[in-house]
Amino acid sequence: MALKFSSNGAGLIGLDITATSVKLLELKPTKKGHKVVSYTVEPLPANAVNEKNLQDIEAVGEAIRRAVKRSGTRTKTCAVAVPSAMVITKVIQMPDDLKPHEMDAQIQLEADQYIPYALEEVNLDFDVMGPSEDADGMVDVLLAASRSENVEDRTAAAEIGGLDVKIVDVEPYTLEGAFQLISHQVPNQGIDQTIAILDVGASMTSLCVLRDQSLVYTREQPFGGKQLTEEIMRRYGLSYEDAGRVKRVGGLPDNYESEVLSPFRDLMVQQANRFLQFFFSADKNDYVDQIVLAGGCTGIPGVAELIEQRIGTPTIIADPFSEMPVGSDIPAQRLKDDGPAMLIACGLALRGTDR
């Protein structure tokens, strides 16, 4: 199975396999945009996935099976993503007059120059991005390679869940694709703008910077809501499941806000600042026009306001479903609440439409 981030997969499920859950989303193109046709978030047991590694493929597969069943979808194919840390990407130049099969052959021949693994052990794919700015008569080609085991674990889990993997994408590129669903939230639709999407999940935080709607920078680090969950478990003697639930619905003693939540909120601001510094030190400019927060930790009240105030950059929370009609059997409020944590699923689901 190849890493297939450039193929087209009409009518497929976007399947984000995360630290906490399996997120399933299916979109259908409409005249004005997209419609949500199926959606489920199925929780995973603790440690089934550890920092993006599938530790318990069977448990993930069973969760996928439950998600598919609950969603009511009849689609049997899906798109999944691997995190960028599992992928090596490189932009190379190729003559612009090569036919697709010629380019394929030439890249297969030359790939070992760019990829530090034995080629039998990797899944390789490429995508022609457009005319090269650096060389006449050449096109820029994005080459991506992931070790086969990363792809195979996800394929195996999907198979247990009854799904066939048609596309394997790379997380930051799914976010780039998903940006079209949130572009109405940012100045000038992101055209000529520098937009930082900061996704604070359960175990990982990632920054993707888009300039003029294209991905220019990405970085991920282990940080997320799991730290807060663990602190709640320790302090209040709760199980993983209960701690996860009270974070959302409340019911903790009065000192929770000042002694646990508030310090975590401060940590999030610090992390946001660090991520931006990483970007600034790698980039010729040192500003972003807008921060878009994503991930489940955006559910922490006041966090966007605090980041905006301390960092001084306008900050909003991603709301990908705000302009989308949803099927009558879809829990619309839950979908909206989960929206900020569904960007990767959105980008994957869009691969199943005419992007």
Ligand X SMILES: Nc1ncnc2c1ncn2[C@@H]1O[C@H](COP(=O)(O)OP(=O)(O)OP(=O)(O)O)[C@@H](O)[C@H]1O
Residue 19 or 330 with smaller CB distance to ligand X: 19
Q: Is 347 in the site for ligand X (CB under 6 A)?
A: no
Query: If contact means CB under 5 to 8 A according to the sort of partner, which of ligand X, Mg ion, none does residue 296 touch?
Result: ligand X
Out of 161, 190, 295, 347, which residue is the one contacting ligand X (CB under 6 A)?
295
Q: Token digits for 273?
A: 């600042």
Q: Is 18 in the site for Mg ion (CB under 5 A)?
A: yes
Q: Is 244 in the site for Mg ion (CB under 5 A)?
A: no
Alpha helices (H) along 215-296: 225-236, 240-249, 255-256, 262-282
Q: Token digits for 278?
A: 């990483």
Q: Is 172 in the site for Mg ion (CB under 5 A)?
A: no
Q: Which has the closest alpha carbon to 236: 213, 264, 255, 223? A: 255
Out of 244, 320, 339, 347, which residue is the one contacting ligand X (CB under 6 A)?
244
Out of 83, 201, 320, 347, which residue is the one contacting Mg ion (CB under 5 A)?
201
DSSP state string for 114-183: T-SS-GGGEEEEEEEEEE-SSSTTEEEEEEEEEEHHHHHHHHHHHHHTT-EEEEEEEHHHHHHHHHHHHG
Residue 21 or 180 with smaller CB distance to Mg ion: 21
Q: Is 265 in the site for ligand X (CB under 6 A)?
A: no
Stretch binding ligand X (CB under 6 A), from 94-102, 122-130, 296-304, 319-327: 296-304
Please state the length of the chain. 355
In this structure, what DSSP letter does residue 261 have?
I
Amino acid letter for position 103: M
Q: Is 297 in the site for ligand X (CB under 6 A)?
A: yes
Out of 168, 182, 204, 268, which residue is the one contacting ligand X (CB under 6 A)?
204
Helix/strand/coil for 272: helix
Out of 154, 166, 247, 265, which residue is the one contacting ligand X (CB under 6 A)?
247
Q: Which of residues 211-230 bind ligand X (CB under 6 A)?
A: 224-226, 229
